[in-house]
């Protein structure tokens, strides 16, 4: 029988972080999910250079302080909110460190304006990379909650798109067990990712 970690509840990670006293393990999970994504994006931001890591930490601090106030208003609200927080922290960083006005078009401001614009190609790329990154990281995070056969059935059937009867035959389980594996793991992923992935 599959087991669940003690910190696993039906509340999503985002909901758990919005509680009055979120668990340190939930903040660690959030940190581990988002640090690589933010790092990737901020190293692309013109003008940050070696200081991008400082801005990543500033973004995470803002999220830590403000996520209890976040309210989901529509699909994709959290990633949109995070995009804006990220752009605002870069602007604040740039304003406090800029030594002289730039002549002509400011590449940092142009980049941030495109990042904030929900219709721009850059913001659509953020959304796509966000969803792919978070899905892959959450897959890894929930894997220990399931037995090896259940996980293998899910991987072969749901991820690799193999036929249920082929997977059942290969693993020596019923086709129903294959279907249940997919259902149970997707349910667990939906629970954990609610609000982060819509």
**Computed from CA positions of residues 99, 102, 108, 114, in that sequence, does the dihedral angle turn out positive or negative?**
positive
What pLDDT, on the 0 to 100 scale, is given for residue 7? 39
pLDDT in tens, 84-118: 999 999 988 888 876 445 555 678 888 889 999 99
Q: Helix, strand or coil for residue 73?
A: coil
Phi and psi dihedrals of 106, rounded to 5? -85, 115
- Write the pLDDT tens digit of every residue in 7-49: 344 578 999 999 888 899 999 999 999 999 999 999 988 888 8
Domains of the chain, residue spans: 13-145
Total-model pTM: 0.80
b/e sequence 137-174, b meaning 16+ C-beta within 10 Å:
bbbebbeebbeeebbbbbbbbbeeeeebeebbeebebe
């Amino acid at each position: 029988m599959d087991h669940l970690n003690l910190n696993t509840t039906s509340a999503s990670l985002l909901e758990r972080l919005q509680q009055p006293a979120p668990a340190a393990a939930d903040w660690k999970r959030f940190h581990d999910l988002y640090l690589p994504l933010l790092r990737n994006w901020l190293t692309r931001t013109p003008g940050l250079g070696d200081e991008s890591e400082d801005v990543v930490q500033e973004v995470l601090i803002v999220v830590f302080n403000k996520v209890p106030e976040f309210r989901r208003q529509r699909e994709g609200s959290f990633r949109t909110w995070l995009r804006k927080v990220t752009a605002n922290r870069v602007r604040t960083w740039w304003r406090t460190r800029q030594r002289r006005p730039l002549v002509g078009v400011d590449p940092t401001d142009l980049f941030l304006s495109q990042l904030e614009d929900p219709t721009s190609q850059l913001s659509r790329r953020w959304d796509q990379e966000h969803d792919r990154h978070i899905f892959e990281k959450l897959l890894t995070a929930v894997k220990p909650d399931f037995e090896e056969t259940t996980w293998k059935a899910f991987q072969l059937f749901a991820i690799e798109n193999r036929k249920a009867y082929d997977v059942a035959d290969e693993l020596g389980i019923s086709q129903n067990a294959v279907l249940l594996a997919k259902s149970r793991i997707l349910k667990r992923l939906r629970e954990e990712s609610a609000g982060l992935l819509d």
